[in-house]
Amino acid sequence: MPDVSMLAKNWTAPALPAEIPHGDMPGDKVSIHEGHLQKAAVIFPRLLSLLSETLAKNPARRAVVSVCGGSGVGKSEIASLLSFYLNDLGIGAYTLSGDNYPHRIPLLNDAERLRVFRVAGLRGLLAAGEYDADRAAVLSAFMRAGTESDPRESAARPWLLAYQQAGRAGLRDYLGTQNEIDFTELSEILAQFKGGAEELFFKRMGREEDALWYDRVNLRNTAVLVVEWTHGNNDLLSGVDIPVFLHSTPQETLEHRRLRARDGAPDSPFTAMVLEIEQQLLQSQAHKARIIVSKRGELLTWEQYRLMQAE
């Protein structure tokens, strides 16, 4: 392996071929544009400088990098570019998608999120003494319309606000937790990789119930595992050496999902609530990131990021 510390000083981005390898989530595609290239070019020299020390500390000369942030911020594209740049320098890298490690396929996980919200909401309504047959009928109509989480509906119905607040609390206890995601399995994979495993079985999860399997991956010449994933900086994930956090807003994430029309109703009030809770979780863990990148592609210190959020 080349001297990583020396490479950081004189690195320039190489020309890209028509296609580059990307994450291992079945069916995923990357579409790299100028914004991704600019951010990756800002991140990479800093990443190289951090990798030098990280690789030296590991007996197997290995490191795990995560690229995290909200949906639509460019995780897949930037992680693919970072892996490509590392491989171009002779530092073997593989891009792993954390989206293979929820307990449920996307469609079923969306259904479970909604179930968690509704059960918690109903229990909260009961606890507040606000539940009766008439309100149950109204709620049933809202559920059929998919609007029971819409804040506009609760403006004229204070009892519905109690339902929404309790449902939101229940959802917060599910999203990004071990109940939703198998952090244990992925953490064990990262530990085995950093321990020098030459081959590992990586999970594959498609969008259908029967699209579930494992691939044996040769890691003999791989020094850096790049994990691209919303939850790549989560407190429940162990083994990440260098978290890279890409900042975005819930509004940008929602617009991205709307354009991609992902999994049902991307612009529903419930989806907006999910994205807002996820963003709050990401922001609460951003202080652990070794590299923070603004929406405009600037490297930020934690203090700069904190002040930006306070504004």
pLDDT in tens, 65-90: 999 999 889 999 999 999 999 999 99
Q: What is the pLDDT of residue 221?
A: 97
pLDDT score for 309:
83
Determine the average pLDDT of the residues in 152-156: 93
pLDDT for 229 equals 97
pLDDT in tens, 230-262: 999 999 999 999 999 999 876 666 565 555 555
Among 7, 12, 202, which Cα is nearest to 91's?
A: 7
**What secondary structure letter does DSSP report for 16?**
P
Residues 279-290: pLDDT tens digits?
999 999 999 999
Tell me the C-alpha distance between 131 and 129, whole Å.
6
Note the pLDDT tens digit of each residue in 21-62. 898 888 888 889 999 999 999 999 999 999 999 999 999 999
Give residue 213's Cα distance to chain centre: 21
Q: Domains in the chain, start-ordered, CATH in brackets?
A: 24-30+52-97+184-310 (3.40.50.300), 106-172 (no CATH)
Provide the pLDDT confidence category of residue 151 given band limits of 50, 70 and 90: very high
Which pLDDT does position 291 carry in this prediction?
98
Tokens of 187: 């953490």
User: What is the value of pTM for the model shown?
Assistant: 0.91
Q: What pLDDT band is residue 310 in, cutting at 50, 70 and 90? A: confident
3-state secondary structure 21-66: CCCCCCCCCCCCCHHHHHHHHHHHHHHHHHHHHHHHHCCCCCEEEE
Average pLDDT, the chain: 92
